[in-house]
Amino acid sequence: MKRVGVIGCGWLGSALLDQLSMLGYSTFGTFRSHPPLGQHTTYIWSGEAPLSDELKHALLLCDAVVVTVPPQRGLTDSENIAYHKHLAHALSTINDQMQVVYTSSTSAYGQREGACVEHAAEPTSRAYGIEKAYHMYFENTTILRFGGLVGPQRQPAQFHKEGQSIAQPTAWVNMTHKADAIAAIVHLIRLESYGIFNVVSPEHVSRRDFYTKAYERANLVMPQFTEDEAKGKRVLSDKIMQRLGFAFQYANPLDML
């Protein structure tokens, strides 16, 4: 069975570590500080400090590593890109032959409107700059571009402050359920597939329909919407479905609510 490491065990990474272990993979995970007690092999690593000898050994034996470290709010775009370049370089100095899966986002498309496919990223976007850092150091790189992540402890009705009007009500939502995000990562590790893939629910609904139902399900006062009619971006996941046979559990964003 493959050996897989998860770098950055937060909301998504911790659940991924659990799923990989349940499927029988040999795993380890890294935390920025104070790993929780449990069944997993864990290490403390911020991505900036030197690697411990124990973590170096674990990486050396890895078949794949998944980096689930999102951009940090306290850093500028250029600082975030530099951080990931440092992280990717540190990993590559130990094992540059393993598959690296980086969990990116649809913000790689910037302000583009209409249909968005993998080759149409905005070169000046922060997300695209971070993706390039992993391509720079690893030949076997897999980039997964998630939409807005939804799941336990991350409900859409909580995405906006109380009283805040929701913009672009006629625009499409591009959402990814946590279960589909994890399933896609496992799918690409199992297939050893490299490249860039959108992982967004393939059926698109409007922001008005999505957030109205989200607030209704949460028993909250219905949200207010602005009057702008922009359609925004519609991120397509045809590539991962048609080329790799991936099937979404939550094909329609309304089913996430």
Q: State mean pLDDT over 57-77.
A: 96
Crossing angle of helices 11-22 and 178-191, in 10° steps, is 50
Reported as a single tens digit per residue, the pLDDT across 91-130 is 999 999 999 999 999 999 999 999 999 999 999 999 999 9
Reported as a single tens digit per residue, the pLDDT across 124-154 is 999 999 999 999 999 999 999 999 999 999 9
Q: State whether residue 224 is helix, strand or coil.
A: coil
Reported as a single tens digit per residue, the pLDDT across 30-49 is 998 877 767 799 999 988 88
Tokens (6 digits) for 117: 């496919």
How far apart are alpha carbons 188 and 197 in whole angstroms? 10
Q: How far is residue 226 from each of residues 81, 133, 166, 184, 213, measured CA to CA in Å? A: 33, 38, 6, 34, 17
Q: What is the pTM of this model?
A: 0.96
Q: In the block, which residue shows the tokens 């690893």? A: 138
Q: What integer pLDDT is reported at residue 162 of this predicted model?
A: 76
Class assignment of domain 3-155+176-204+233-256? Answer: alpha beta
Domain ranges of the chain: 3-155+176-204+233-256
Backbone phi, psi, residue 191, to 5°? -85, -10
